[in-house]
Structure 1
Amino acid sequence: MTDLPLSFTPEVREALDAGRPVVALESTIITHGMPYPKNLEMARDVEAAIREAGAVPATIALMDGRIHIGLDDAALESLAQAQDVMKVSRADLAACLVTRRTGATTVAATMICSALAGIRVFATGGIGGVHRGVEDTMDISADLYELAATPVTVVSAGAKAILDLPRTFEYLETLGVPVIAVGQDVIPAFWSRDSGLPAPLRLDDPAQIAEAARMRRALGLPGGQLVVNPIPAEAEIPRAEIMPVVEQALADATAQGIAAKAVTPFLLDRIFELTEGRSLSANIALVLSNARLAARIAAEGA
């Protein structure tokens, strides 16, 4: 580990050395998912929720040629206001480090960095997946491959609702990734509790979810597991209400020629506008809920 470009905050280092529960957090949601200062408020609130649930938060970002495992408050505020931040996934992680650019980690990059640091549980909002029109674009998120390769339990509210959800979860099945629903028998759809897709697995007890992760390691099975936790009911935007908005945002992206890594930030911004900010409030609620669940799973020794 000493040869790796990892920098730990004292809080995270002490927790890992003592075997206390640690939950990793991505940084793309800060730099590309929400405007300042809402992004900073959200980041602080999520870290506080993890601490209140008995674990230590470790927000991950790339700065000055180092992978930072945990950010102090000054670094968190600096990142929330940073400009020209790279959105880093598996393909460009090394290049971001050697060019010493500031990089925000996606789900895939956060999983890689978490595993390098010895962190086994990661909380996020929603994972990437198979994009609409994949038959023409071949646009499939690296998040799916990472879930099949890297042994981290990822707690999310499902895949982002802007994606082709049936193909996304079919592809995860093909890759052998366990998709575990919590508290219901259907897969949630980010802003909505019900995607209309049946959940392949259901485990409501954080201790069982942690035990399943340990069992996978004992069996020598590669990859992680995806925990899909529905957004709290009071914060939900029902699928019948949000999907016409998503369709409008997708049509706007096509009309403006938005492609590749720019698609998701554009769509989230456009949906924010079309819902008059309601999508952002829902996003914050689901991230907080996922963070609390991830802390409970980490506390059970995932």
Structure 2
Amino acid sequence: MNLSIAPEVAKALEANVPVVALESTVIAHGLPRPRNLTTAKALETEIRALGVVPATIALHDGVAVVGAGDVLLERLANEAGVAKVSIRDIAPVLAARSLGGTTVAATVEIAAAAGIQVLATGGIGGVHRGAERSFDESADLEAIARHPVVVVSAGAKYVLDLALTLERLETLGVPVLGYGTDEFPAFYVRSSGLRLQYRVNDALGAARIAREQLARGAGMLLCVPVAAESALGRDEVEEQVRNAIAASDRDGIRGADLTPYLLRALGEATNYRALDANIALLRANAQVAAQVALTLCA
């Protein structure tokens, strides 16, 4: 895999200046226009404000781009037919020289190849509800386990089976840390009710554990609950998720299309309060990721 590392990012990595990787499928597939582009730029601004270099990752013209510029961000946000790239898709999309937005899994792999230690996202993928029938499990989980990258997220997306997702992370040897919380966050919802074994209260505590885990050649998950003023209620979201899953079954939605379908349905059902919560947690996670990256480079 050929990497095209932006000069600013390459210079930062060489000088031990902190860098935070950002995934790009949230731009191409996760958020509606025009808020996808404004949010992508806002995340980079949040990171830069703390003295950290952002590196949005995507595939373009046969290379993995580490540090997408404004033109590429605009293409990811506005063009139709941008490929959604998980790990299985990297080679085919590179070979086709297509434009691709990278998921957490693909972004983790590319970030690790570039030497970036921290990644910020909204919520990771995981084990889907009904996985005992569909065997539907996100590649995010194994990617985090295999690559030395700290993934900062608001837990896993609420549409998933969160208890099974935690079980899989445990099996894969991924430490899951609550950032100022003892419970696993659930994306739009501050708490899933699932207890976590490990808690840290600041970037220093997270970085201490990260140094040990990254030295083992493996990654970890740092979970930041969405701010109370942006959060949705668990009962409300659960009802809407059940409705959305039933609709997806009727419509025959499967595989990579399922999570975007469910998130769009949730956005509509909550009068787009879910979208506002998503953007708020993305920005908060970017800030925490930048603080952790700063501490790791200190």
Task: Look up the match of 2:291.
Answer: 296
User: For structure 1, which runs of at least 5 residues remain unmatched after alignment?
Assistant: none
Contact 1:30-1:80 at 8 Å conserved across structures:
yes
Query: What is the CA–CA distance in structure 2 between the aligned matches of 1:217 and 1:114, rounded to whole Å?
Result: 13
Contact 2:213-2:220 at 8 Å conserved across structures:
no
Query: What is the CA–CA distance in structure 2 between the aligned matches of 1:280 and 1:286, rounded to whole Å?
Result: 10
Contact 1:177-1:226 at 8 Å conserved across structures:
yes
The amino acid of 1:234's aligned partner reads E
Task: Look up the match of 1:98.
Answer: 95
Query: What is the CA–CA distance in structure 1 between the aligned matches of 2:85 and 2:214, rounded to whole Å?
Result: 27
Contact 2:13-2:19 at 8 Å conserved across structures:
yes
Which of 54, 58, 72 is matched with 1:57 structurally? 54
Query: What is the CA–CA distance in structure 2 between the aligned matches of 1:97 and 1:107, rounded to whole Å?
Result: 17
Shift of 1:5: 1.2
Which of 11, 14, 22 is matched with 2:11 structurally? 14
**Residues 1:211 and 2:183 are matched in the alignment:** no
Distance 1:24 1:217, change over 3 A: closer
Give per-residue Cα distances to partners, 1:33-84, cap 9 Å, x unaligned: 0111110000011110011122111000000001110111122112111211
Task: Look up the match of 1:189.
Answer: 186
Contact 2:47-2:287 at 8 Å conserved across structures:
yes
Shift of 1:208: 2.0
Task: Look up the match of 2:260.
Answer: 265
**Residues 1:281 and 2:276 are matched in the alignment:** yes
Shift of 1:285: 0.2
Shift of 1:10: 2.1
Query: What is the CA–CA distance in structure 1 between the aligned matches of 2:126 and 2:160, rounded to whole Å?
Result: 6
SS in 1 for 2:229: helix
Query: What is the CA–CA distance in structure 2 between the aligned matches of 1:217 and 1:178, rounded to whole Å?
Result: 11
Q: Which aligned pairs between 1:13-162 and structure 2 lie closer than 5 A?
A: 13-162=10-159
Contact 1:146-1:223 at 8 Å conserved across structures:
no
Query: What is the CA–CA distance in structure 2 between the aligned matches of 1:208 and 1:52, rounded to whole Å?
Result: 22
SS in 1 for 2:14: helix
TM-score relative to the length of structure 1: 0.96
The amino acid of 1:229's aligned partner reads V
Query: What is the CA–CA distance in structure 1 between the aligned matches of 2:127 and 2:106, rounded to whole Å?
Result: 18
The amino acid of 2:131's aligned partner reads V
SS in 2 for 1:61: strand
Query: Could you say what the CA RMSD is over the residues aligned between the two structures, in angstroms?
Result: 1.0
SS in 1 for 2:30: coil
Shift of 1:217: 3.8
Query: What is the CA–CA distance in structure 2 between the aligned matches of 1:92 and 1:71, rounded to whole Å?
Result: 19
Once superposed, which parts of structure 1, at least 4 consecutive aligned residues long, lie more than 2 Å away? Answer: none
Shift of 1:195: 0.3
The alignment of Structure 1 onto Structure 2 pairs a total of residues equal to 297
Percent identity at matched positions? 50
Query: What is the CA–CA distance in structure 1 between the aligned matches of 2:285 and 2:260, rounded to whole Å?
Result: 21
User: For structure 2, which runs of at least 5 residues remain unmatched after alignment?
Assistant: none
